[in-house]
Amino acid sequence: MKIVVDTNVLMSGVFFAGLPLRVLQAWRDGLATLVVSPEILAEYQRVGAILAAQYRDVDFEDFMELVMIHAEIVAAPALEAPVCADPDDAKFLACARAARARIIVSGDKHLINVGSFHSIEIFTPRRFVDTFLL
């Protein structure tokens, strides 16, 4: 199954563990394919660099190297019309649509409020774990 993981879930999994870490472990264990776009990668890098400066015991660069090697990277054309309240979140929907991924894992209220878009469902980390990993 292809999944798009929003930045907050990815950062929480890398730096803080919990349910977001279980989402990343599903990718590591081959239960899911992580799909990203260049825009998402840029945001991961930007936010990860900020957190890595605060949490020096986490090797974020090694993690990003794994993402670059093992994630599916797709070109994701911008959406034709606004879909959610935060235009910055559209990159996750565009990526999922371009990759034909059916799931976005997010804790972002703007994405969660979208509910679904072109057969793409927005799952919280809890719902993803309960649905696919138990």
pTM for this predicted structure: 0.95
Distance of alpha carbon 14 from alpha carbon 16, whole angstroms = 6
**For the chain, what are the domain ranges?**
2-133
CATH annotation of 2-133: 3.40.50.1010
CA-closest candidate to residue 92, choices 116, 115, 76: 76
Distance of alpha carbon 51 from alpha carbon 67, whole angstroms = 17
Lowest-confidence region among 2-16, 59-73, 108-122: 108-122
For the chain, percent of residues with pLDDT exceeding 90: 90
CA-closest candidate to residue 6, choices 73, 92, 129, 68: 92
CA-closest candidate to residue 98, choices 122, 72, 123, 60: 72
Q: How many CB atoms lie within 10 A of CB 108?
A: 20
CA-closest candidate to residue 124, choices 101, 99, 107, 102: 107
What pLDDT score does 134 carry? 86
Tens digit of pLDDT for each residue in 78-114?
888 888 889 999 999 999 999 999 999 999 999 999 9
Q: Which residue has the higher pLDDT, 82 or 28?
A: 28
